[in-house]
Structure 1
Amino acid sequence: MSHAVQHLRESGHLGRFYIDGGWREPDGQDRACVINPATETAIAEIPLGSSGDVEAAVSAARRAFSGWSRTEPATRAALLSRVHALLLERAELIAQALTAEMGAAITYARRAQVPLAAEHLRVARDNLADFAFVSQRGSTAILREAIGVCSLITPWNWPLYQITAKVGPALAAGCTVVLKPSELSPLSALLFAELMDEAGCPPGVFNLVNGTGPVVGEGLASHLEVDMVSITGSTRAGVLVAQAAAPTVKRVAQELGGKSPNIVLPDADLARCVPLGVAAAMRNLGQSCSAPTRMLVPRDRLRDVEALATAAAGEFVVGDPLLEATTHGPIANRAQFERVQMMIEAGIGEGAKLVTGGPGGPAGIASGFYARPTIFSEVRREMLIAQEEIFGPVLAILPYDTVEEAVEIANDTVYGLGAHVQGTEMDAVREVASRIRAGQVHLNAPDWDPNAPFGGYKRSGNGREYGREGMEEYLETKAVLGFYS
């Protein structure tokens, strides 16, 4: 049994929700199993929230809002600092929870999933040090005030990371929140609720209700007392949340799907940028909305790229996520595994060149939702694998003849979340980046920046997360004329 599951069982928190500063028995009777994707076995059972649970959580958040929104920024920063410290103290337990609930390789959970999540809390805390909640424009005061009660809906692929990316800035802004994590990966969320409780979060400021999208998600999105919804998920899920929220005219921030391009310019150092591009496309086993899963390369260098990409994929070790040598564990759940397999078959059926990988799982693995890292080449822009988000370890290599054509191909998608550009001449790299319709562009594989705003154009969503812009998303603007007269 996972240490995380054992811990939650012994604490009694596994079968409860965190509402109004305490652990509450669920109102409804529905339950769901948490499946370990490495073994395909149930490792825990959690309650699924009802309309009564939603009502209790929203009511608690509403009662707490008046007091929390009027606290000093230093008070909110102090809470975030305590939560940040506790998260780092419990890093190993949370990493094990992530491996158990969604299959992240334990080394990746330790190296990326947990520490990057902690960074969102640190940034939210640090932004409070000098943020101008009141500014002057002539005789008018411009006030930035907390928007109110926020429902936060988070996905299964980066469970803790997306929780902190929303909870941190929302609490920093002075909002109160109700969190609905994915029912497929709820363990890390329960552990995070424990941290909030131990850090001394005031009752009602942070609340957690597990449940399904149609019941808890829609209930939160449509609730009259919820002022804002922030969702990270598929474009389909984002549309449903926006529709549910529309009658109450609440703000909806959406971080949705992506089909990010990686433009390899003609002067790029292939030996460096191709392996980095393959690694980026398949980080978290490709289960990242901003993963650069379309690599655009000069046609006359296509064969060299194929060889380098194949070698890079050959370095991956797919297998038991608890082993230190494993770089990539299983796909997080059965439904996603089946979609990945379907898309690989679609790529073969459309005539793309299968360079490495393919359908099925790695040799020697009898159970678990394991997929083979797969690379297609000679992909055309109209192919399904070039247009639809696959959300698995599948990379499409598309050749181009001119840089102008590469930019056109990069923008030829309904998405606009992220993009990469790689080349030697920086003026050319920057110029290409300026023409890509995406919310975040990476030049020559830079380090991750938790202060860089993140969000999409087109059907990749609206609003921004991370950094100062992430906190501003949870603020209203009030003008007070004559304030300085």
Structure 2
Amino acid sequence: MLPLMITLFYPPACYTPLFLYKMFIIIHIGNIYLCTQSQDKGACNDMYNNVKHFINGEWVESTGNETIDVINPATEEKMGTISAGTEEDLDKAVQAARKAFPSFSNTTREERVKLLDRIADEYEKRKDDFIKVITQELGSPVTFTEKTQYEMGLRHFRETAKILRDFEFTEQREGSFIQKDAIGVSGLITPWNFPTNQLSTKLASAIAAGSTVILKPASQTPYAAMLVAEVFEAAGVPKGVFNLVNGSGSKIGNAISSHPDIDFVSFTGSGGVGTKIMENAAQDITKVSLELGGKSPIIILDDADVKYAARNAITNIAANTGQVCTAGTRALVPASMHDEFIEAIKELLPEFPVGDPQDKNTFTGPQVSEEQWNTVQDYIQKGIDSGATLVAGGTGKPDGLETGFYSKLTVFTDVNRDDTIAQEEIFGPVLSVITYNDLDEAIEIANDTIYGLAGYVVGENPETLTKAAKGIRAGRITVNDGKADFSAPFGGFGQSGIGREWGDYGIEEFLEPKTILGLPN
């Protein structure tokens, strides 16, 4: 059982008489403090102070004294502090994972299925906590957090357990016996934009394979990962199998990718960091899996419903504030449909309100940080400077949202395919509309990028839908309203990365095949 401490206190006298009769409750579960009632700035903003790491089944103090502030992007206020971990902290985690590996890698498939089921059960128990944490640390609107952020994390644990039940770790061929062994100690480096999705798919696959891990979550959104550590603790994950070290990418991330006792590095993030990880890992010939950026096209066919296509395009940039590696940020529209499409965009934009992530009616929240906000603003200005036509949005914050890292939903048209805003990943709510004359040209424009993570096709005719979907060189193509398949591989072509996650493909990343010849029957 996790410790439970309930602290009751009265709000300061400046509150109205109504509030004087309402006690605030702060629950301390493990190491993360969560406010269960309406937030009081002086109380709740100071509740996320956990400067410990989770190593060898215990919350331990860092060997260093440096800390990192975590900022609520909707309020621009400090919401907590985490440790800026040291290389010594990482070494301790690696040693714990290395020690746990022999026994954990020899557990049975059935034992690991039961472990994944217990993790998923414990994860579900903390649903409200995950929603609160992610909404605050990322600024993800509460409705999107519940339906997408929280749910995706759960689905990976459930789906991986389901797949593991029938997963084959051995294969008998005519002249050989093939055995798939756990790869070893794995270093997982996860991004801030989906705090539970990426870490859950990596962790679920690692556990399914029998690999032990060290996780370094993004320092902008560390608390969801720390909740996952509590979930793992409650589920009875053996000591040393899962370890969490907080800190900066430049120190802890760099140390993970260059550590000689880490056998595999799985990273999700930017292309620049991915390049550095490959350079570091090459020194010890360490295997890497990289899920990087994207500049995904939406090919809108000439028989598409214009309003549906416009809604699809806006959703791609408005969901998660455009902070999605698979976001369709290039809308490729038939020249004959352009004017009608732009009018539909203008008509529909008010249905995607930008605002307070705590408001259930908000569709788009703030950027995760001031740095990311500045990056998005710079790209919007580059679009204006390029001569593209600004249909909606632009630089600056939306009216009435002076506090918080909010960007306007921005749409450009008359964009040239080689413009900066059409080629580089912005990671914000910015759409570039590009026209084409025929489907072959549309496919050519779609593939005119260094990336190849995702693509989208909107239309009616099965033949042209199929041609467009098969023609886009990217790892995941969505046709119309195709639903996510958590058993299917996820990853990209080109500079969108190396390797695949999700389902059985994800498990394979944490395995090494071994061939045995001449084994007696």
Q: Provide TM-score, normalisation by structure 1.
A: 0.97
Displacement of 1:63 after TM fit? Answer: 0.4
- Aligned match of 1:316 in 352, 355, 368? 352
Q: 1:191 to 1:471 in 2, by over 3 A?
A: same
- Aligned match of 1:339 in 356, 361, 375? 375
1:21-420 to 2 correspondences below 5 Å: 21-420=57-456
Q: Distance in 1 between matches of 2:78 and 2:116?
A: 34
Residue equivalent to 1:434: 470
Letter in 1 for 2:377: Q
Letter in 1 for 2:198: Q
Q: Deviations over 1:403-437 (max 9, x none)?
A: 11111110001101000112211122112221211
Residue equivalent to 2:460: 424
Q: Deviations over 1:449-484 (max 9, x none)?
A: 111211011100010011110111111011111235
Question: Deviating runs (4+, > 6 A) in structure 1?
Answer: 1-6
Displacement of 1:34 after TM fit? Answer: 0.3
Letter in 1 for 2:455: A
Q: Distance in 2 between matches of 1:277 and 1:363?
A: 23
CA contact (8 A) 2:119 2:231 kept: yes
Q: Distance in 1 between matches of 2:65 and 2:204?
A: 31
Q: Distance in 2 between matches of 1:187 and 1:10?
A: 10
CA contact (8 A) 2:160 2:503 kept: yes
Q: Deviations over 1:161-200 (max 9, x none)?
A: 1110110101111100000000111011111100000100
Residue equivalent to 2:512: 476
CA contact (8 A) 1:5 1:187 kept: no
CA contact (8 A) 1:4 1:94 kept: no
Q: Distance in 2 between matches of 1:263 and 1:331?
A: 27
Q: Distance in 2 between matches of 1:109 and 1:397?
A: 28
Q: Distance in 2 between matches of 1:227 and 1:247?
A: 12
Letter in 1 for 2:309: C
Q: 1:363 to 1:255 in 2, by over 3 A?
A: same
CA contact (8 A) 1:5 1:43 kept: no
| Aligned partner of residue 420 in structure 1, secondary structure | strand
Equivalent pairs counted in the alignment come to: 485
Displacement of 1:3 after TM fit? Answer: 8.7
Q: Distance in 2 between matches of 1:423 and 1:318?
A: 28
Displacement of 1:402 after TM fit? Answer: 1.3
With a CA cutoff of 8 Å and minimum separation of 6, indicate the structure with the bigger relative contact order.
1
Q: Distance in 1 between matches of 2:87 and 2:311?
A: 48
Q: Distance in 1 between matches of 2:117 and 2:266?
A: 23
Letter in 2 for 1:175: S
Displacement of 1:13 after TM fit? Answer: 7.8
Q: 1:352 to 1:186 in 2, by over 3 A?
A: same
Letter in 1 for 2:151: P
CA contact (8 A) 1:181 1:210 kept: yes
Displacement of 1:105 after TM fit? Answer: 0.5
CA contact (8 A) 2:260 2:284 kept: yes
1:16 maps onto 2:52 in alignment:
yes
Q: Distance in 2 between matches of 1:6 and 1:66?
A: 35
Q: 1:470 to 1:3 in 2, by over 3 A?
A: farther
Letter in 1 for 2:119: V
Letter in 1 for 2:167: F
Letter in 1 for 2:501: E
CA contact (8 A) 2:49 2:82 kept: no
Displacement of 1:9 after TM fit? Answer: 4.8
Q: Distance in 1 between matches of 2:118 and 2:408?
A: 41
Displacement of 1:318 after TM fit? Answer: 1.0
Letter in 1 for 2:291: E
Letter in 2 for 1:419: G
Identity %: 41
Q: Which moved more, 1:430-439 or 1:346-355?
A: 430-439
Q: Distance in 1 between matches of 2:66 and 2:421?
A: 37
| Aligned partner of residue 342 in structure 1, secondary structure | helix
Q: Deviations over 1:68-126 (max 9, x none)?
A: 00000111111111111111111111111011111000111011100111101111111
Q: Distance in 2 between matches of 1:482 and 1:391?
A: 53
Displacement of 1:14 after TM fit? Answer: 1.5
Q: Distance in 1 between matches of 2:147 and 2:233?
A: 25
Q: Deviations over 1:383-417 (max 9, x none)?
A: 11100000001111100011111111100011010
CA contact (8 A) 1:4 1:93 kept: no
Letter in 2 for 1:412: D
Displacement of 1:365 after TM fit? Answer: 1.5
**Structure 1: tracts of 5 or more residues without a match:** none
Residue equivalent to 2:5: none
1:453 maps onto 2:473 in alignment:
no
Q: Distance in 1 between matches of 2:84 and 2:482?
A: 41
**Higher Cα Rg, which structure:** 2
| Aligned partner of residue 328 in structure 2, secondary structure | coil
Displacement of 1:5 after TM fit? Answer: 9.4
CA contact (8 A) 2:32 2:227 kept: no
Q: Distance in 1 between matches of 2:270 and 2:32?
A: 31
Q: Distance in 1 between matches of 2:431 and 2:369?
A: 20
Q: 1:53 to 1:118 in 2, by over 3 A?
A: same
Letter in 2 for 1:386: A
CA contact (8 A) 2:333 2:435 kept: yes
CA RMSD of aligned residues (A): 1.7
